[in-house]
Amino acid sequence: MPLSLVQDASDPQGVALQPGVLVTAGYIGGDTPHVWTAADWAVWGTRWRVPIWVRSDPGQVDATADANACVAALQAQGAPPPYLVLPYGSTGNIFTEPAEDGYWPAFPGPAALYGHAGVVATQYQLGSQYDLSVIDQSVPTWDTLNGTGPTAVMLDLETAGFVDAPGYVSAFAAILHGVAPSGSVVVPDVVGLGGNDAASALQAVGLGAHISTNSPVSSQTPGPGAIVPQGAVVDLGI
């Protein structure tokens, strides 16, 4: 599969962009020591970007509040939704977490994806000034020219004092996955509701419903989590 070269640094000022790099990864918040400014992003000036949210102590924070802070940072930076979540960490701990939209392990070695199910990127070179990764080109990185999503976000969970927090990654990702582009809506899950309640839940977010009975809903198309234009109609089966 085609791969793109990614470069990141805690602070890009004074650091040269390496040959062949197409994607810049920069820090937008969490407990990172330095949040990138517009001037930092401009240093390397690549078209494609990956925002990084750092959480070294997931057991000490509320995942929902943390994810909402991440969404606010993404929007402040101008990164367009919808958002994908790529959990990052060493091969010794990251695979105990859910993959969400793809793992990003750190594994020094060749410029290749680490051989594990669900891996979509790999940090293969760790340096004192910058790091290098490869990422599958099918992963939608933030395209600063066309200004549309999706935007893949690295969730950096790797520190020496990593504390596992059951459910943190899934809860964090659920918030980011629920952010729709302007004019669009994330379809709610209405399976199991009565027909009238299901229709009301859909109407509350700006969607219509096809159903002719108040019997419990057994299926829906589009399914929960789908992103559709506002005003779209959801077919409900009983």
Task: Give the domain CATH number at 113.
Answer: 3.20.20.80
Note the pLDDT tens digit of each residue in 132-169.
999 999 999 999 999 888 999 999 987 544 555 678 99
Enclosing domain of residue 227: 184-237
Name, of 66-80, 109-123, 215-229, the range with top average pLDDT. 109-123
Domain count, the chain: 2
Among residues 179, 143, 180, which one has the least CA distance to residue 70? 179
211 in the same domain as 130: no
pLDDT, tens digit (0-9, with 9 covering 90-100), for 191-237: 999 999 999 999 988 899 988 788 999 999 999 878 888 889 999 99
- Which tens digits make up the pLDDT trace of 206-217? 899 988 788 999
Per-residue 3-state assignment (H helix, E strand, C coil) for 136-148: ECCCCCEECCCCC
- Give per-residue pLDDT as tens, 167-179: 899 999 999 998 8
- Decide which of 160, 177, 194 is a domain's last residue: 177
Distance CA(162)–CA(89), nearest Å, equals 9
Confidence of residue 87 (pLDDT cuts 50, 70, 90): very high
Select from 177, 204, 221 the last residue of a domain.
177
Residues 224 and 145 in one domain: no
Q: How far apart are CA 235 and CA 191, in angstroms?
A: 11
pLDDT of residue 3: 97
Given 177, 201, 220, the domain boundary residue is: 177
Q: How far apart are CA 209 and CA 168, in angstroms?
A: 33
Would the pLDDT of 111 be above 70?
yes
Query: Which uninterrupted H or E stretch holds 21?
Result: strand 21-30
Q: Are residues 233 and 162 in the same domain?
A: no
Mean pLDDT of the residues in the chain: 91
Q: What are the C-alpha distances in Å from 223 to residues 35, 157, 236?
A: 36, 30, 10
Residue 29 has pLDDT above 70, yes or no: yes
173 and 220 housed in the same domain: no
Alpha helix segments (H runs only) across 14-105: 38-44, 63-77
With 0-12 / 13-18 / 19 or more C-beta atoms within 10 angstroms meaning exposed / middle / buried, residue 89 is buried
pLDDT higher than threshold 90 for residue 86: yes
CATH number for the domain harbouring residue 231: 3.30.10.20
Same domain? For 125 and 23 the reply is yes
**Which whole number is the average pLDDT over 111-119?**
98
